[in-house]
Structures are given as structure tokens and as C-alpha cells.
Amino acid sequence: MIKKMLSIFLVFLFLFTFPARAITLAPEPTIVATPTVIIKEKITEPGSIEAKDKLEALLDEQILGPLSFDNFLKHSVRFAVERGVPANTIIVILLLPLIGALVGVIQYFVGLPGFGIFMPAMIAVTFLATGIVGGLFLFAVILISTVLAGKALKGFKLFYWPRRSITLMIISLITFGFLAISPSLGLIDLTQISIFPILFLILLSEEFTRVQLGKSRSSAVSQTFGTLIISILGASLMNWEASQRLVLLNPEISFLIILALNIFIGRYGGWRLLERRRFQSVLER
């Protein structure tokens, strides 16, 4: 529970400390040795002027009627943007419920278990920042260090929380080492990534250990797999221009769609995709 609370706290930090973070944590373009590097357009980075302009230009194109029950959200979006809230922040916030619905789809239609809603939501946001391939690579490194830490600690008879804490320490060290050598290796430009996505990935691998310690390796693997699928889908959806447009220009409609989807999932009592294989032998004569 503490972890969940911490996660919520981190999401809030992540979403509401943009101006501060831009100054303290975001890499200074002037220090980068090669100024010719093109900074990729990222919707999690408030500093990416290109993305911001494009989204706000979209808003400017839209003509709003007088305030009424069917456009109050549109008006609030406009109001917030005018007061200086970045449009990409609004998109991330408004698309979070979609990831919640995705968790439902993956669990009840496909049959893959996950780590709840917070974990996929956070990792989807992380993937937005790192790119999906880069994020998966980073996650692989973190996960391997988690498993190694678990193996190393097996012999010592430590209590549950201290063991988790030491695992976390080992992960932090390995990630730090990776970050330190990554520019010279030229794998992915990790220096472009702020600290929060990395923290989220560390938390996911920590969750992986928790399940592995409490339950079994196989359930930890399948849960991590499910979480990553949801995160990848969520990140792609958040990055998709059509959904960005929908949520920014027609927030009411997007919310109604998500609501309808959730009600449908909530009442669905039929087969899951993976159950077809499970019960195949029962169906055969």
C-alpha cells in the first residue's frame, strides 16, 4: 500500500512540477556536446516547443459556442491552456482513464493478468518519454538486475522488507552505472530522459520481485508481460494523433466512449481469448 501511495505521489509530482523540473532536471541543450542532435518531439516534455505549438494551434482552430452542458469540458480545456497549462499535460491527464479501460480489456477479454492500473499507466507515460524500444531496453536491464539481486539475496535469511529494500538498492546501483556508461556506448540517449520514467521502471521491476517472492516466477512473468502489453498499447494510443485530437478537441465524447467501454467490460461474462486454449480439451469429444 505504501508503494501505491508513493506511486500516486510520484504521478502527481511528475504531472504538476513541470516548470520546476524543466529548470532543474531537464537537460540543458547548451551543455550537450553535439548541438546538431535533433530533439525528438515528446509530449511528456513541456519544453518541446514544436509539439506544444502544434497542439495549441489545433485548439485555436476550434470554434466554441456558448458554455452549455455538452461543451463545458472543452471550455475548461481552453481555460486551462490560456492560463498556461501545457496542452500535452492535459492530453496525458485526460488519456489516463483510457489506460484504465485498457487494463480491463486485457484482463477480461484477453485473460492476461497485470499489476493493477497505476503501474501500466505510469509505464505508458514512461514509454512516451523514452520511446517504446528504448523503454523496453531500459526495462530489460533493470529487470535482469532485479532477478540477479533476488538470486544473490536468496542465501541470506533476511526479512521481507529489508530484502526488498536491498533489491531496490542493487537495482539503483546498476541503473546508475548503466546511465553513466550509456553515452559512451551510444545505445540510447538516456541523458535525454528525465529521472521519473526511470523511477517508474525501477518500481515495476520491484513489483515483479514482490510477486516472484510471494507467488511464483511464472505468475510474475505473465503479470509483467501483461503490464508491458498494456503500457505499449497505452503509449501508442497516447502518441496517436487521432486520439490526441479527440481528447483535446472533444473531451466529452472521449470520456463517453471510455465510460461505455468500461460498462461493457464490467458486464461481460463470456469467454476470454486465452480460455479457448485452456478448455479446448473439454470441448473435444
Partner 1 sequence: MASREEILTKNARNKIYLRANSIRGRSIANSKTWTKKVLSKAGIPVPRLIAVFKNSWDVDNFVWEKIENSFVVKPSGSSGGEGVWVIKKKAKWAGEWFLVDGTKVGASDLRYHCLDALQGRFSLGGFADKVLVEERIKIHPKFLRFTRTGTPDIRVIIYNGIPVMAMLRIPTEESKGKANLHQGAIGLGLDLATGITTFGVHHEQMIKRIYDLKRKKWIKVNGIKVPEWKKILQTAVECSQAVEGLSFFGADLFLDKAEGPIVVELNARPGLSIQICNKAGLKVRLVRAEGLKARNVDHAVKIAQTLFGESFVDKVKAEEGIKVVEILESVRVRVKSGKRQEVLAKIDTGALRSSIDYDLAKELGLLDPNNILFYRHYRSASARMHKRPVIALTFYLKGRRIKTAVNATNRSHLNTAMLIGRRDLGGFLVKPEPVNTKVSYR
Beta strands in the chain (DSSP E): none
Compute CA distances 107 → 245, 254, 268, whole Å.
Answer: 27, 22, 11
C-alpha cell at 190: 538516456
**C-beta of 282: minimal distance to partner 1 in Å?**
5
**C-beta of 285: minimal distance to partner 1 in Å?**
6
Please identify, using beta-carbon distances, which residue of 61 and 284 lies nearer to partner 1. 284
**C-beta of 247: minimal distance to partner 1 in Å?**
29
Please identify, using beta-carbon distances, which residue of 17 and 219 lies nearer to partner 1. 219
Please identify, using beta-carbon distances, which residue of 42 and 163 lies nearer to partner 1. 163
C-alpha cell at 275: 480460455
CA dihedral 102, 106, 107, 111 (to 10 degrees): 170
Angle between helices 160-185 and 132-153 in degrees, nearest 10: 140
Amino acid, res. 116 = G
Interface contacts to partner 1, rule CB under 8 A: 1, 108, 111, 157, 159-161, 210, 213-215, 268-272, 275, 278-279, 281-285
Please identify, using beta-carbon distances, which residue of 17 and 216 lies nearer to partner 1. 216
Whether the CB-CB separation of 130 and 192 falls below 8 Å is answered with no
**C-beta of 225: minimal distance to partner 1 in Å?**
18
